[in-house]
Structure 1
Amino acid sequence: MKKTQYLIGLLTLLFLLVACAKAEEKDVVKVGIRSSELKTWEYIKEQAAKENLELELVTFSAQFDPNQALAEDEVDINAFQHVAYLNLFNTNNNTDLQAIGTTIMAPIGLYSNKYSALTDIKEGAKIAVPNDPSNWGRALLLLQEYDLLTVTEDFDGNGGEDRIKDNPKNLTILPVEGATTPRVMEDADFAVINNGVAVEAGLLLTDAIIHESETAKPFINVIVAKAEDQDNATLKKIVDIYQREKTANFIKDISKGNYVPVKMPLDELASWKKFYSY
């Protein structure tokens, strides 16, 4: 009798161990991405396959938010956004999507057809910036990072004419349609240009006079999962593959240096809002 009870107990334990292991496994991990990230994730997929991990890449157009797909279980993780965007999505949609690892930065930069150094920014210089609130705010933070102005104490990441507290050089900030910022350089002294817009205009990050550094935490891109999956071993393995030095070198090469790989601990990333009052 005792032997039978022992065997039943042992089988029950084995069943539970297998069930727990299965809970940590995913036969195929679906990854939601934008087309701009396809080459990187094709590389990640190849590396994962070498470790018996199969990825299915699901590419979303600009008309559909990969966060919505994640919230609705259409994908297991996604990788397309920075942490500030993730926070805004969670706030607006009452979701609990969590960053499980950092990936890259696509830094915005300050460009000019007339000048080539930070010291060329003189009193009253005209600086064009993207006019949508998010990127306008990001431009102001870039200028603050290099001590060209200071944003207000209640700054929330969104730009506006009233978001500048101190402007010691009396810079003239010219909000314009983001896609036009490269052309506006002809009329302004400088222009803050988004990474993607700059690339389309034939500009590289190395052409920028200044650009965001890895200290600009709100704009570090992340791999995101649902809250209940944030400790999943399989998903953590994908993060590990992404953050390897070989992957970083691949990203730098295919982006011609426009993407900056970032490997930052999540507990350090958690202080990202403090950057607004840098």
Structure 2
Amino acid sequence: MRNSIKITATTAVAAALALGLTACGTDSDPKAKTESGAKADTSKPLVVAANPTPHGDILKFVEKNLAAKEGLKLQVKEFTDYVLPNTATESGQVDANFFQHKPYLDDFNKKKGTHIVPVVNVHLEPLGLYSKKLESLKDIKSGQTIAVPNDTTNGGRALKLLADNGLITLKDGVGANGKLSDVTDKKGLKFKELEAATIPRAISEVDAAVVNGNYAIEAKLKPSTDALVLEKGEDNPYANFLAVKEGNEKDPRVEKLAKLLNSPEVKKFIEDTYKDGAVIPAFGPVK
């Protein structure tokens, strides 16, 4: 029996307020929890916040097939946004999360004053440019509109993807940290900034859209065939990882889950489940 709870965007509003208030209290101290790290109660389930796809799917595979052999009790809480998993981890309402990459986490910690740290890389979801109206990159012309994520890190990542493929020009040296104000040559293109989760639903309303890998999967897009262009996987800094509140890295349950998430069984699950290139194994330490 799977011990899984799904929290949708519509039910998360009240939770967001409660979690935000909690995170602003004394528990924002990374050493505030009494049962953390190596002293954690290993008889309790490890509660992990995750986006449903592919993160929740990977965790459920571990829960169903691997966790019991390691003596690990695993509970998955699914969130459909990019904020609540971190605030819930910070407040102690969950023990860990699995949904983000390091540039996003670094920016989140800086802006929110949280103390979340990565544990181990698991997979990469290549960012892609999609369109319901155009057949290839060469069909993108002056005057057309491209939707991009409105959060800092995924927005910069999207602009870099466009720049790498000659659609725009960015200021020298901005890399994946670019903002729309860093575009030195829009080549006549217009941009519409939207929340990452909403972009797949807006693809038909624009000429093209940059979509995160997990949201592409949920929207039934096939990156290997549907994307006009995809990010390259080699040396990509956007691997998604297991993360915890600082001080909880040595929790034996976290260490067991980290080991399982980098196991041959999980590698095979990812490769067998996401044959269209939407998810790629990216095991190892977070750099």
How does the TM-score come out when normalised to structure 1? 0.71
Matches within 5 A, 1:1-278: 23=39, 26-27=42-43, 28-36=45-53, 37-46=55-64, 47-60=66-79, 62=81, 65-113=84-132, 116-117=135-136, 120=138, 124=142, 126=144, 128-130=146-148, 132-134=150-152, 135-152=154-171, 153-154=173-174, 157=177, 159-160=179-180, 162-165=181-184, 170=187, 172-175=189-192, 177=194, 178-184=199-205, 188=207, 190-206=208-224, 207-215=226-234, 217-257=236-276, 258-266=278-286, 269=287
Describe the superposition over 1:14-63 as per-residue Cα deviations: whole angstroms up to 9, x where unpaired: xxxxxxx9737722322122333332211111301112122122334549
Structure 2 gaps of 5+ residues are: 1-36
Report the alpha carbon displacement of residue 163 of structure 1 after superposing the two structures with TM: 1.5
Describe the superposition over 1:82-125 as per-residue Cα deviations: whole angstroms up to 9, x where unpaired: 2222112211232221100112222221234565555x367748
Report the alpha carbon displacement of residue 81 of structure 1 after superposing the two structures with TM: 1.7
Contact 2:42 2:252 in 1 (8 A): no
Summarize the Cα distance change of 1:30–1:84 in structure 2 as closer, same or farther, 3 Å threshold.
same
Q: How many Å separate the matches in 1 of 2:102 and 2:255?
A: 18
Which amino acid in the other structure matches residue 102 of structure 1? N
Summarize the Cα distance change of 1:150–1:244 in structure 2 as closer, same or farther, 3 Å threshold.
farther
What is aligned with 1:276? none
Report the alpha carbon displacement of residue 154 of structure 1 after superposing the two structures with TM: 4.9
SS at match of 2:70: coil
Q: How many Å separate the matches in 2 of 1:237 and 1:32?
A: 16
Report the alpha carbon displacement of residue 211 of structure 1 after superposing the two structures with TM: 1.0
Report the alpha carbon displacement of residue 129 of structure 1 after superposing the two structures with TM: 2.4
Summarize the Cα distance change of 1:127–1:142 in structure 2 as closer, same or farther, 3 Å threshold.
farther
Instruction: Pick the structure with more helix per residue.
Output: 1
Contact 1:130 1:192 in 2 (8 A): yes
Report the alpha carbon displacement of residue 227 of structure 1 after superposing the two structures with TM: 1.9
SS at match of 1:92: helix
Summarize the Cα distance change of 1:210–1:30 in structure 2 as closer, same or farther, 3 Å threshold.
same
SS at match of 1:107: coil
Contact 1:25 1:233 in 2 (8 A): no
What is aligned with 2:16? none
- Greater CA radius of gyration, 1 or 2? 1
How does the TM-score come out when normalised to structure 2? 0.69
Summarize the Cα distance change of 1:140–1:68 in structure 2 as closer, same or farther, 3 Å threshold.
same
Q: How many Å separate the matches in 2 of 1:74 and 1:110?
A: 36
Which amino acid in the other structure matches residue 183 of structure 1? S
What is aligned with 1:17? none
Contact 2:119 2:285 in 1 (8 A): no
Instruction: Quote the sequence identity (%).
Output: 25
Report the alpha carbon displacement of residue 241 of structure 1 after superposing the two structures with TM: 0.9
Q: How many Å separate the matches in 2 of 1:55 and 1:24?
A: 14
Q: How many Å separate the matches in 2 of 1:22 and 1:83?
A: 24
